[in-house]
Amino acid sequence: MVALDVHEYTSNKQIKKMSSIPLPTTNTISPSSSSSTTTIFSTLHSSPLFTKTSKISTIRKHNGRRNFKVSCKTTEDGHEQHNSPIDISKKTDSSSNMIDRRNVLLGLGGLYGASTLVGGHPFAFAAPVNGPDVTKCGPANLPPGASPVDCCPPTTGNIIDFQLPPPPTTPRIRPAAHSVDSAYIAKFNRAIQLMKQLPDDDPRSFRQQANVHCAYCDGAYDQLSFPNTELQVHSSWIFLPFHRCYLYFFERILGSLINDPTFAMPFWNWDHPDGMRIPAMYTNPSSPLYDRLRDRRHQPPVMVDLDFNGTDPNISNAAQTSQNLTNMYRQMVSLGRTPDTFLGDPYRAGGQPGGGGSLETMAHGAVHVWTGDRTQANFENMGDFYSAGRDPIFYAHHSNIDRLWTVWKTLGGRRQDFTDPDFLNTSFLFYDENAQMVRIRVRDVLDSRGLGYVYQNVTNRWVKSRPTPRVSRALSSIRRLVEARAADNDVVTFPRPKEIFPTKLDHVIKVMVKRPNKKKRNKKEKNEKEEILIVEGLEVDSDVFVKFDVLINDEDETLISPENAEFAGSFVNVPHHSHGKGEKKRKTKLKLAITELLEDLDAENDENVLVTFVPKNGSGAVKIGGVKIVLED
């Protein structure tokens, strides 16, 4: 069964050893030697068990919306919490519409009762994001060119709380998609085929499962008890746990349909050289795993580009492999040194997502857009959140994201999940394999083993792919000496942030940014506080594929790639569409951990660093409010 197109579907989205991190002992693979070519994006039967009111999404503009910014005053110890405001892009309560979170919750008529008190303190109310109320699901806000679609699930009055399953004798093992045998492929094909054959109004059907992503990601839901405040599962600390829940129930439905409770879905191992192509079982046009809305130029044997910006690089497979591995090292190791830089910023009731973590803002988004069809108006299916779930490979992509979350917690240091009650008590609603709606919380899913599954053991070769500086330390020292002399002679080389921002990023921008501590820190100090570059006040056109790179201490941006230490990170916006009340732009921030980068560049004693912003796609569709460097616990 071939996947439907958009209109058919909507009528019924150099290597440096790091000795502190152990490398799993499995075989390594040599990359192939074929080459890529250079191309440019030209554009970028009814069930009586459920009732469903039609809420067909339309493409329209709405009136303005009002959002309250809710602050948190206390933590378990009664002290002010760092980054505690709900609108975490703000550090103060100076806004005229900022309301104390406790006052808001006290006015919710008992929804938050005594059970939500944190640590027994009478004024420390929890404010996790809860919901949604599916009976109030509204039209999703779709992009221009998309056919109307109802993303809302069937409604039911019976919602139960999730209970962890009994520990299995042997956990389900999710396999790498490129390594499975013909028997597994046949079983997986049958499971997906049966899911696609279910009636469209069955919440277990493939259509309904695909629409889960549309509803949660494109403005169909409000936060529970906060009408007109969109529930969004990207760009914050709930990104990874939401998608783990999503995949868990998807997998359980598949197993139920084939009467095999041990069935485990595959993962697309795009961070390993053997998995850096679309897995073969997804490319057979006669398979239910096939989706014709994929980029034809990115079919095997073309390798995935984890730094994809709309242009296909003209490099060998060996070079692409090396670049992908260093890119993964950057996201997982050097940028992922703390919970907030890897998992994302806090997201609390009544607020807005504050910013995604390194994995979400880089490889996650790049693979989405790389896979989507460039000939479609919105890069359907994978290239836009509203349609991504229609491609079966979406679930394999996110299964690898889920695996990498587990791997990250094995790398040591401060790489641990948040313990904030607002994180742990955030809840979502999904239909399970029995077509029962279930309320599941983040605290239920932090360990995949508790859900009964693990991942096939594969070699994470990127662990030993630490980037190297383009400029030698000797040359870097000479350059700093020249800059110091220029400063002594009042020669202005590069502007300060306040002289440039806010401004649109429609050209390369270079600014000199002052560091909070120009003295080299010891290992203990680095472990206690991370040096973080914060790009704040970002305003992004949410329906545009946006990518920009951030470089540090390099004056020739044309020569820098993720293989270089000067490459600090990227920001990627996968097109999606907000609540639908006139808000085309989303506000966010980008946080990049730079402690290790400064070591590699021999810049730990520098008073300032040169920060370069390089627009790669969607030039002018993002505005930068400012940039600063801070030390954070």
**Residues catalogued as catalytic:** 213, 234, 243, 364, 368, 385, 398
Q: Is 439 helix (H, G, I), strand (E, B) or coil?
A: strand
The residue type found at 564 is: N
| 582: region left, alpha or beta (phi > 0 left; psi from -120 to 50 alpha) | left
d(Cα 549, Cα 562) in Å, to the nearest integer? 9
d(Cα 451, Cα 514) in Å, to the nearest integer? 46
CB 283 within 8 A of CB 191: no
d(Cα 494, Cα 176) in Å, to the nearest integer? 48
CB 73 within 8 A of CB 340: no
Number of other residues whose CB lies within 10 A of the CB of residue 161: 10
Q: Which of 216, 224, 267 is nearest to 242 (CA)?
A: 216
Q: Are strands 530-541 and 585-593 parallel, antiparallel or unpaired?
A: antiparallel
Chain centre to alpha carbon of residue 351: 18
The structure tokens listed for 307 are: 């730094």
- Determine which helix (DSSP H) or strand (DSSP E) holds 106, and give its type and residue range: helix 101-106
Q: How many CA atoms lie within 13 A of 348 on its CB side?
A: 24
Q: Is 299 helix (H, G, I), strand (E, B) or coil?
A: coil
Question: Buried (b) or exposed (e) across 98-120, using 16+ Cβ within 10 A?
Answer: bbebbebbeeeeeebeeebebee
Q: In sequence order, which ranges of 519-578 are alpha helices (DSSP H)?
A: 523-528
**What's the CA dihedral at 216, 382, 538, 309 to 10 degrees?**
170
Q: Is 274 helix (H, G, I), strand (E, B) or coil?
A: helix
- How would you list the strands of the sheet with 427-431, edge to edge? 159-161, 437-441, 427-431
d(Cα 257, Cα 194) in Å, to the nearest integer? 7
Number of other residues whose CB lies within 10 A of the CB of residue 71: 25
CA distances from 563 to 37, 320, 332, 477, 555 (A): 20, 10, 14, 21, 16
- Please give the backbone phi and psi of residue 75, each rounded to the nearest 5 degrees, phi first: -120, -170
Number of other residues whose CB lies within 10 A of the CB of residue 409: 14
Dmax (CA) for the chain in angstroms is: 81
Number of other residues whose CB lies within 10 A of the CB of residue 539: 17
CB 601 within 8 A of CB 469: yes
In 525-632, beta strands by DSSP E: 530-541, 546-552, 567-573, 585-593, 608-617, 622-624, 626-632
Number of other residues whose CB lies within 10 A of the CB of residue 415: 19
